[in-house]
Amino acid sequence: MGKPVLLSVDDDPGVSRAVARDLRRRYGEEFRVLRAASADEGLSALRELKLRGDPVAVLLADYRMPEMNGIEFLEQAMDLFPHARRALLTAYADTDAAIAAINVVDVDSYLLKPWDPPEEKLYPVVDAMIEAWRASADGGFEGVKLVGHRWSAPSFQARDFLARNAVPYRWYSVDEPEGQRILAAAGAGPDDVPVVVTSDAQVLRHPSEAELAAVAGLGVEPQADFYDLVVVGGGPAGLGAAVYGASEGLRTVLVERQATGGQAGQSSRIENYLGFPDGVSGGQLADRARRQAVRFGAELLLARDVVGLEEHGPKRVLHLDDGRRIGAHAVVLATGVSYRSLGVAGVDDLTGRGVFYGSAMTEAAECADRDVFIVGGANSAGQAAVFFSRYARSVCLLVRGASLEASMSSYLIEQVAGIPSISVRTCTTVAAAHGDGHLEAITVEDARSGERSTLPASHLFVFIGGAPRTAWLDGAVLRDERGFIPTGPALLRDGCRPPGWTLDRDPYFLEASLPGVFVAGDVRSESVKRVASAVGEGAMAVTLVHRYLESR
CATH number of the domain where residue 164 is located: 3.40.30.10
Q: Which of 416, 444, 462 is the last residue of a domain?
A: 462
User: Is 315 inside any structural domain?
Assistant: yes
Q: Are 455 and 491 in a shared domain?
A: no
User: Is 236 inside any structural domain?
Assistant: yes
User: Is 148 inside any structural domain?
Assistant: yes
Q: Are 372 and 424 in a shared domain?
A: yes
- In angstroms, the CA 30 to CA 17 distance is 19
Quote the pLDDT of residue 396: 97
User: Is 272 inside any structural domain?
Assistant: yes
Q: Are 396 and 443 in a shared domain?
A: yes
Q: Which of 437, 462, 487 is the last residue of a domain?
A: 462
- In angstroms, the CA 35 to CA 32 distance is 10
Quote the pLDDT of residue 98: 67
Q: Are 363 and 297 in a shared domain?
A: no
CATH number of the domain where residue 131 is located: 3.40.50.2300
- In angstroms, the CA 213 to CA 302 distance is 7
Range of the domain at 427: 347-462
Structural domain count, the chain:
4
Q: Are 369 and 401 in a shared domain?
A: yes
Q: Are 481 and 533 in a shared domain?
A: yes
Of 464, 474, 470, 465, residue with least CA distance to 524:
470
- In angstroms, the CA 80 to CA 119 distance is 30
Quote the pLDDT of residue 105: 61
Each residue's pLDDT tens digit, 226-266: 999 999 999 999 999 999 999 999 999 999 998 899 888 87
- In angstroms, the CA 93 to CA 91 distance is 5
Quote the pLDDT of residue 121: 85
User: Is 221 inside any structural domain?
Assistant: no
Q: Which of 116, 135, 154 is the last residue of a domain?
A: 135
- In angstroms, the CA 406 to CA 47 distance is 58
**Angle at which helices 70-80 and 177-186 cross, to 10°:** 110
Quote the pLDDT of residue 308: 97
φ, ψ dihedrals at 208, nearest 5°? -75, 170
CATH number of the domain where residue 374 is located: 3.50.50.60
Q: Are 119 and 10 in a shared domain?
A: yes
Quote the pLDDT of residue 236: 96
- C-alpha torsion angle, residues 447, 451, 455, 461 (rounded to 10): 10
Reported pTM: 0.76
Positions of the chain with pLDDT lower than 70, given as ranges? 1, 93-94, 97-98, 100-105, 137-142
- In angstroms, the CA 368 to CA 389 distance is 9
Q: Are 522 and 402 in a shared domain?
A: no
DSSP calls for 458-493: SEEEE----EE--GGGTTTS---TTS-B--GGGG-B
CB 287 within 8 A of CB 266: no
DSSP annotation of 93: G
Q: Are 121 and 148 in a shared domain?
A: no
Q: Are 483 and 446 in a shared domain?
A: no
User: Is 351 inside any structural domain?
Assistant: yes
Strands 428-434 and 422-425: unpaired
Quote the pLDDT of residue 173: 92
Quote the pLDDT of residue 101: 65
Please state the separation of Cα 154 from the chain's center in Å: 12
User: Is 66 inside any structural domain?
Assistant: yes
User: Is 305 inside any structural domain?
Assistant: yes
Q: Are 171 and 313 in a shared domain?
A: no
Tell whether the torsion through CA atoms of 179, 181, 183 and 188 is positive or negative. positive
Q: Are 504 and 485 in a shared domain?
A: yes
Helix or strand or coil: residue 75?
Answer: helix
- C-alpha torsion angle, residues 484, 490, 495, 501 (rounded to 10): 50
